[in-house]
Structure 1
């Protein structure tokens, strides 16, 4: 019976680790074909492709992000071929299994929990006597009733075959994210997380994991993401893996980890700061909330002072980018409390700050006790909350307005100096800036359309002009500085009206040619010709001394000039600055 395993990934660059584990475990007795799509692919296209493969057994890996689209595909396929055997697995259908079997009559079997052993046992029965009572960790139909057989034993992770050795995957490794497990389970009990349900942490064979990583790097993998819920729960294990990756990494490879920051020892961070190549590692840290009552209610142990120490040490080392997560909507965290959480975490200036919204996942303690906090949430995936006893729907909408501008204006790092000045000087707090701008953005209808880079600068300027900020002239100077320094090539038409007349620009260029040291020794050493200056540089005036500000963080309102050189041979951008008075010129 031809067997195909499929899933709908969130993005094209993602790969499904789960179906590869099933394929590897079922071999060599069964030769399983894999078929991956994305949730953006039209359902009819997916159905057409799957039908062309002529499967007799078809399995889907189900998550909150793909279950709705997967159901559409299942229903169409079953109408086309009623004899097709449909099997579901994954975290979304592991809980409330009977409900899923009743809701989707087209489904013949559901795998409950870990699927490697259960799926192979199911294949054995489908090819044999079809006595499904012999299969553990499964739900199935028997005449007019639904039978559920719980899992008996967890799989021995050290015995699992590698899911990374399929020839058909090798050509795609460089273009996609590769997910790797070194453990399953989580030592913590956060009541909003599915990982809290499994007791204890189990580890894979370390040497096999290392062999897999070597194999992946040799075949071109560039982004390898560890899916362990707490990679650093064992300090000795984490140190061993960090050392291995430092010693054997290939240039251009990036490793991502989910770490628990408040348990990370300073000596581990110091080791990474001293030994890790810049850009090799990336940390994802779930902060979620800094409200002690909230954390206690969701059984989340967190020492924010120690977390701050870890994030600060890593940031000061300038080797590892950090992605910090927040969750809006946790118990007893009202709008003002969340504002404090946001400001507490933004104070750490992470490279990325992800703003998420609580999802009442099936099987979690928080969903089971939703009434205790007045939770109202979506009936369908992703089960996001709409309100609770301390957070109104209007509050949720306001916080959602922050999300879009936070992503575009902080996480994408298009204008770091501008945003830093706004959140530290112009607005009362970072949250006040992002909330004010987010609300303005939403009211303008910009959420629903695409934007060019220049549009983002214009939108921010429109907001600040509307807010009637006294510092607008200073902020516009920062915006020009950020815009010019972040371009790889000389921009044709900046987003602002040029302040310099043609004759003024020519006068300044000739003054620089006469005395290039006015912009420093590095600039003078380039020995740019008049043609190079006019063709590959941009001049702009700023209303403050940019050199002094960048060195000291102090503002001196003194007209200065920046010259930005776009090196056509090395695709490098360099910024040089001087006070206008140093040129002994009067520029309007």
Structure 2
């Protein structure tokens, strides 16, 4: 029997862990082929590829991001292969199974919840032409009007599950993709917007098997390994053991990502990581969602803001671990002003990434069941995103989406760190106000519907700031120039700004460097360059303040300076050297 398991990932770099667990559990009785695609792939290409595999049983792993595209593929498949047995599984079809059986008549079976055992039992029944009515966790039609849903039985012993990582066909891709791994299933919390709240308790995999899998992945080139545990640090002893293992045995260039609950992480754990973790080895994802206590109570979310702040601050001070903090707009009783406060509360922590998402009323969640209580209006189809509720109008939702757009480009992508820090600190009442006003301007200009080169992002921010008639525009412009050069690996042909020094003035700066031995100590590295190297690998800009002093203290000292930017051709790094303008003789020679 030819069995194929498929899914449509959000991006090429993603991998699907679920179908790999199904494949490993089905062995050795069944040899399962894996076929992964992306939601960007044309449906005809996917269907053609699956047709060539000629499956007898074809399974799809379904999520909110791929369900609609998956349905289109299934419809086409059934037209050309009417006898293929279609099986669906995954969180999107686990709930409201009668709806899915009715909406997608081409589907033969739906696996509910944890699928390893149910899927293997189904394959055995199909192969042996046996009755499926006693298989737990299975839904199917008994006739055109009636469906049968068998509830899931006892959970698997995760310690006995075979590894999902030992497939030869995966080896060539390990270094190019995000590899997902789980050390536990379940979540101790009951957040009503999250599917994890439905499962009671937390179950763990065998620790030594997990470690062996991680060793195997690293030895075969895996670079980014993401733990999908809903709360990796729920057990302090377990988290510490894994942190120590990863520190001891990591390979250079490998990054491990975790979802952690920040307010339960003890200071001694953070101190241990600050003291012992190599820089860049770990990355934390922290779901804050809201700082409104009433909102958190309504969604049954326990959160100690003071302890969360302590954790994020300690990690940031350690300068070892990047942090990704999540917000959800549209939670119950969080109106526009309350969300503005939530945003500013979290932005004050200056996370390396601040993800602004919008509430999705997921099938099976308590919040979807109670959606009428809060006046929710939301999309009928996946991703079921909220459109409004009784305290947040659609107009306000649309305004917050303007914030999301520029936040991603101007903060999370780290193209202008110094510039944005100065702007939100000195030019606007709050960071949210900057992103909101800029986002409104961005959309009004039509920029949300077109692509952008790096230079465009600088030009468009400057255009927006010009409309405000700020007295600090020259300082901001100089900081933008610094950020522009700091993000280059090679010397650009020009700056983002059309204003450049004359060749004569630039040459005067170079001559001063070459001829003087009494320049500031900060300029010493530049003094070792030859005239040819200066011309080839540096750019000179004139600034209205002392850049070096600002970078060290965040204080503006008005002093005209030349900044020499050196683009090292060997290391592809950038170095900046300050030279007081008073030291340069720019008088033209007769």
TM normalised by structure 1 equals: 0.98
Q: How does 1:212-223 map to 2 (within 5 A)?
A: 212-223=213-224
Q: Show the counterpart of 2:448.
A: 447
Separation of aligned partners in 2, 1:408 and 1:312: 24
Separation of aligned partners in 2, 1:285 and 1:488: 31
Alpha-carbon shift at residue 425 of structure 1 (Å): 0.5
Separation of aligned partners in 2, 1:35 and 1:451: 34
**Equivalent position SS for 1:389:** coil
Alpha-carbon shift at residue 586 of structure 1 (Å): 7.5
Q: Show the counterpart of 2:350.
A: 349
Separation of aligned partners in 2, 1:447 and 1:530: 44
Separation of aligned partners in 1, 2:222 and 2:498: 45
Separation of aligned partners in 2, 1:383 and 1:485: 41
Compared CA separation, residues 459 and 516, structure 1 to 2 (3 A): farther
Contact 2:523 2:578 in 1 (8 A): no
Deviates more, 1:556-565 or 1:424-433: 556-565
Alpha-carbon shift at residue 280 of structure 1 (Å): 0.3
Deviates more, 1:571-580 or 1:394-403: 571-580
Q: How does 1:506-521 map to 2 (within 5 A)?
A: 506-515=507-516, 517-520=518-521
Whether 1:37 and 2:37 are equivalent positions in the alignment is yes
**Equivalent position SS for 1:361:** coil
Whether 1:301 and 2:271 are equivalent positions in the alignment is no
Q: How does 1:238-257 map to 2 (within 5 A)?
A: 238-257=239-258
Gaps of 5+ in 1: none
Q: Show the counterpart of 2:236.
A: 235
Separation of aligned partners in 2, 1:521 and 1:578: 9
Compared CA separation, residues 432 and 73, structure 1 to 2 (3 A): same
**Equivalent position SS for 1:474:** helix
Alpha-carbon shift at residue 36 of structure 1 (Å): 0.3
Separation of aligned partners in 1, 2:189 and 2:566: 52
Alpha-carbon shift at residue 498 of structure 1 (Å): 2.9
Q: How does 1:347-426 map to 2 (within 5 A)?
A: 347-426=348-427
Separation of aligned partners in 2, 1:152 and 1:162: 22
Residue correspondences, number = 587
TM normalised by structure 2 equals: 0.98
Contact 1:561 1:578 in 2 (8 A): yes
Q: Show the counterpart of 2:69.
A: 69
Q: How does 1:252-263 map to 2 (within 5 A)?
A: 252-263=253-264
Alpha-carbon shift at residue 519 of structure 1 (Å): 4.5
Contact 1:192 1:364 in 2 (8 A): yes
Q: Show the counterpart of 2:287.
A: 286
Contact 2:195 2:362 in 1 (8 A): yes
Alpha-carbon shift at residue 524 of structure 1 (Å): 4.0
Q: Show the counterpart of 1:330.
A: 331
Alpha-carbon shift at residue 39 of structure 1 (Å): 0.2
Contact 2:327 2:356 in 1 (8 A): yes
Contact 1:519 1:576 in 2 (8 A): no
Alpha-carbon shift at residue 49 of structure 1 (Å): 0.5
Aligned-residue CA RMSD (Å): 1.2
Contact 1:232 1:238 in 2 (8 A): yes
Compared CA separation, residues 40 and 556, structure 1 to 2 (3 A): same
Alpha-carbon shift at residue 521 of structure 1 (Å): 5.4
Alpha-carbon shift at residue 516 of structure 1 (Å): 5.1
Alpha-carbon shift at residue 570 of structure 1 (Å): 2.2
Contact 2:522 2:578 in 1 (8 A): no
Separation of aligned partners in 1, 2:571 and 2:262: 38
Gaps of 5+ in 2: none
Q: Show the counterpart of 2:565.
A: 564
